Structure 1
Amino acid sequence: MADQDQSNQENQDPSFGLQRTYVKDISLEMPNAPQIFLEQEGPAVEVSIKVGGQRLADTVYESTVTATVTTRIGEQVMYLVEATQAGIFEASNIPEEQLDPLLGIVCPTMLYPYLRANVADLINRTSLPALHLAEVNFQNLYEERVAQIAQEQGSQDSGIVLPPGVTRQ
């Protein structure tokens, strides 16, 4: 009987693990090559980071981190790199209020080093100077996203309480 109780307890313990990482999408564009190589001016670099994900099965989730790097000299694009690093995670018996932060902070933090390496490798293959993405605080990004969603919902709130199942038109 004690073995059965222990087995039931183990089945209820929270578990989380990375199952697999993979490059979901990656692209490099150099629309102004080879003329851009003759430019003497230093480039300006813009970096954008996005986090996404989806539920694949009851306890299996895909998390993604996408980096878009645009390097320009003046108005001309030197190169544009877009890469999406993905991972499959197993998360079971995680309280609902902890699941979203887990998927929005912990998973991207685990994937980001792979993304940084892939972007650096791709840029290195252009024969242009190396570019290494800076560290990202995914907790700050998550908190900003939650605050933005709350603000958007607050600005859309008219003060009218709708019954369950009824949506605004």
Structure 2
Amino acid sequence: MNRLLKIQRASETDLEAILLFEFHNKTWFSEFLPSQVLMRQNERYFKQQLSGGQNLVQFLVYLHNGALVGRFSFQFLDPQHTVAEVSYRVAKQCSNRGIAQFALRSLLPILACYGINELYAQVSSENEASIRVLKSCGFEYSVTKEASIKMPSGIQDTVVYKWRVGSQERLQ
């Protein structure tokens, strides 16, 4: 897999590629993300994210041919940048190929080197694919927030998973 993918930190020069990625996959992403999240994602929104002023870092996943197929965002939750929340998405044509799992597993040691000790992820309780990805990467169930997310299919529970430095060693 590592010969087929390239993972790099996003910068302002990636803005056009990110906008195209989001546009081409909007219908797919709307199955897993609340509409209010998708509605606010415009050029200004991404420019702010990429400027580095929002306590956020993003990584992009490219195929060997240069096609952007995934985006991982890490939002810091504390001033010391030791706790963060991850959100990610993979293009529909690349789903169920192990890309999310490979990229997240690859990014965890990098994040630990930057001082992140804990990482959280919130997913709809009905998003079984993301739950499998998180569990396979060493995330453990933390809490369920009942009726906390409004999806096109209705109100759903949110499940929170937590990863801590050292979780990956148990997977080896």
Q: TM-score, structure 2 length as denominator?
A: 0.29
Higher RCO (CA 8 Å, separation ≥ 6 residues): 1
Structure number with larger C-alpha Rg: 1
